[in-house]
Structure formats: structure tokens, C-alpha cells
Chain A
Amino acid sequence: GEDVEQSLFLSVREGDSSVINCTYTDSSSTYLYWYKQEPGAGLQLLTYIFSNMDMKQDQRLTVLLNKKDKHLSLRIADTQTGDSAIYFCAESAGNMLTFGGGTRLMVKP
């Protein structure tokens, strides 16, 4: 399958912005997603971006897509302790998803 890569860990202070990065390889992906996993729970869809868009903003979340470099990022403004979780990017071929390894975000008070 295609590889989706993320850095393993990010630590920020409460109130700062967090930026989580992801690179993917399948240029035919229709949608790219960000999922959030809280401790002991399954994954929940946080946001997504259609492949013909460059940016999507949803309250504190901003998704940037650079198709030329196959680079996806998630920016969380005013990061809160409740944002501490593992964040997965994923690319799709229809209903099948390929996930990155996940980035653990730690928010310090």
C-alpha cells in the first residue's frame, strides 16, 4: 500500500498553536482526513479536506494541503489540555483508508 508518514510526537504549551504534519504518496486520493484518538477510545473524524482544495478552516482547526509536495498539515489554534490525543492523517481511495502512524500531541498547562 501507499505510505503515509507523520512525526511521532509533539509537545506544546496550553494556548499555543499546534501544527501536525503529514506526507502521503497517493496522488489519486479523493479526500484526506484527520482523525483524533483519545486514550482508550476509537478514532473520531476531526476534519477532512477534498483533494481540489488548498485550505479548510473549521473553528480552531486549519487544514492545509499542498498537492505538489503531497503534504498535509493540521493547525490547532489556542491548544487546550483537552486536545491531548493521538492524531492520525489518512488518505482515501473510495471507502478504503491508509493511515499514518499517528502523532501524539501533549499539551502542557
Chain B
Amino acid sequence: NAGVTQTPKFQVLKTGQSMTLQCAQDMNHEYMSWYRQDPGMGLRLIHYSVGAGITDQGEVPNGYNVSRSTTEDFPLRLLSAAPSQTSVYFCASSSASHPTYEQYFGPGTRLTVT
């Protein structure tokens, strides 16, 4: 199993540009989430999905869109990038049937918006 994969690893955008961060998992997990990590603030939940076709907002959803057309993929779209979106983005997945709800994280995408 590849686990959770994310592309790209690094990205630089100009203010106002749009882009999609890709996330895929091959563990047949129902739950997938996107977090952003900023220094000293831990990870904050952006959006999450409990299954294909179902998404919901997390703590900091503004400026981001998601969709979940398949179990495997959960892309995160930045509609019009802003410098405040400079961050490291992590995708995670977990199984609804796992007793401890352990989340598996991807390696992250480091995004800089200039």
C-alpha cells in the first residue's frame, strides 16, 4: 500500500491564482480530511468527508473547496490564492471501522502565496 499520497510537494502561487492540491489513499478508508499547519497553531481542519459524495466544513473552510467523487481521491481547491493561505497542507484518512480512529497522514504540500 502507498498509504496517503499528496501532490505536489511544493508550490508557489501568485495572489489570485487558483490551484488544486491532490490527495489519494489506497486503504479504502471512508473518512478523509484536509488540515493546514501553521507555526505554533497545530493542525486546523479545513474540510472533511465521511464518504464519497459527502463533504463538510471544518474549522477554517473559507477560500477552499473540496469534492469527493470517489473513495480514493479528495482534492482541495484554492479558488483565489491569498498570502494568508501560505501554509503546509496535510491530507489524512481513517477507517470508520478502526476501533481507535487512527488517522493516516500524507507527507504534506508546502504552499507559498506571494
Q: Total A-B residue pairs with C-beta atoms closer than 8 Å?
A: 57
* CB-based contact B108/A48 at 8 Å: no
Interface size bracket, B side: 20 to 34
State whether A48 and B100 are in contact (beta carbons under 8 Å apart), knowing that A1-B59, A43-B90 are contacts in the complex: yes
Task: Among A42, A88, A96, A102, point to the contact of B108 (Cβ < 8 A).
Answer: A42
Task: Among B35, B41, B102, point to the contact of A48 (Cβ < 8 A).
Answer: B102
Interface size bracket, A side: 20 to 34
Task: Among B43, B94, B101, point to the contact of A99 (Cβ < 8 A).
Answer: B43
CA distance A87 to B1 in the complex (A): 26
Residues of A near any B CB (own CB < 8 A): 1, 4, 8, 30-31, 33, 40-45, 48, 88, 92, 94-102
| Interface pairs A-B: 4 shortest CB-CB | A42-B105, A99-B42, A101-B42, A99-B43
